[in-house]
Amino acid sequence: NNTRRSCCATMAGQRTAVGTVVLLLTSYTCAKPEEWHNDLSIANCTTTALGCFDNLFPSALPQREGTADSYKGCASNCFSKGYLGVAGIINGQDCWCSHSDEPLGPPNSKGCDLPCIGDADVMCGGTRAFNEFSFKCNPPAQTFACSSDTNTCVQTVDGPFHSPTCDETCQATTTPTPSHGPLGLSSKILLIASCGVIIPYFLFGAMYLKFVKRQSGTDLVVHKGFWTILPGLIKDGVVFTIGGCKPSAILYAKM
């Protein structure tokens, strides 16, 4: 019936004899509504009908691009895949594309009898014929929005901004710098030892040497002799450790 034909593609009939009655069996292939997809969000298209044309074998139009419920939907499908030539719909919904500037296939004045899914007043081909049309599409204006994940400006289909910076309204998410927290016990002990013992040791020692012993220059360093030989002692200790803690003849000679 018309309802079935408006949403289904008929397949070739098969004659079957049942007794003295001959039946013509016709199968239908129906598309679910969710399978009809028009890339209207990709491009805005205008179409010009060219008429009904026979489908050849192989297909007069070379490339199928999904299904569509109107000429504009099919044109948008073709445009999104890079096709700019004549397009056509067959079986009421199947969208086909080409790069041709002229209609393809011989004219057929009666073969296009299936209404379009989205407009019952317009024919979308037949079981063996295309309604062909030319089209012109314009890509939609680019729009942008702030990403909910990173708060950065990203391109979207229906964003509120036309600037790739989203008018500087997005605030990028930053990772907070980890806090090292308060000083540990060992750090506190070292800090107290430095401020309370070592610094007064050198400060008051230098004052004593200057004002009591009347020293000057490098002689103001407390226990200068010890600090002078300390690097050598450290070196000998390292050599002794590397040597397996075995005394050498050189060390005995120094002693």
Q: What is the pLDDT of residues 178-221, one digit of tens each?
A: 555 566 777 778 778 777 788 888 888 888 888 888 888 888 88
The CA–CA distances, whole Å, from 172 to 151, 155, 169 equal: 5, 15, 10
Residues 6+ apart with CB under 8 A from 184: none
Residue 171 pLDDT more than 80?
Answer: no
> Residue 255 and residue 247: Cα distance in Å, rounded?
11
Instruction: State whether residue 198 is helix, strand or coil.
Output: helix
> Which pLDDT score is estimated for 1?
35
The CA–CA distances, whole Å, from 42 to 74, 75, 157, 208 equal: 12, 11, 8, 88
> Which pLDDT score is estimated for 93?
94
Average pLDDT over residues 58-82: 90
pLDDT band at residue 232 using 50, 70 and 90 as cut-offs: confident
Average pLDDT over residues 218-235: 84
The pTM assigned to this predicted structure is: 0.45
Amino acid type, 38: N
Phi, psi angles (nearest 5°) of residue 18: -125, 100
Instruction: State whether residue 78 is helix, strand or coil.
Output: helix
> Residue 9 and residue 125: Cα distance in Å, rounded?
10
The CA–CA distances, whole Å, from 241 to 77, 115, 178, 235, 237 equal: 80, 97, 40, 10, 6
Structure tokens at 176: 């907070």
* Ranges 71-80, 167-176, 203-212: which has the least confidence: 167-176
Instruction: State whether residue 90 is helix, strand or coil.
Output: strand
Residue 3 pLDDT more than 60?
Answer: no
Residue 8 pLDDT more than 70?
Answer: no
* Ranges 12-26, 33-47, 180-194, 240-254: which has the least confidence: 12-26
Highest mean pLDDT among 40-44, 139-143, 200-204: 200-204
> Residue 38 and residue 70: Cα distance in Å, rounded?
8
Average pLDDT over residues 235-253: 71
Q: What is the pLDDT of residues 97-117, one digit of tens each?
A: 999 999 998 999 889 999 998
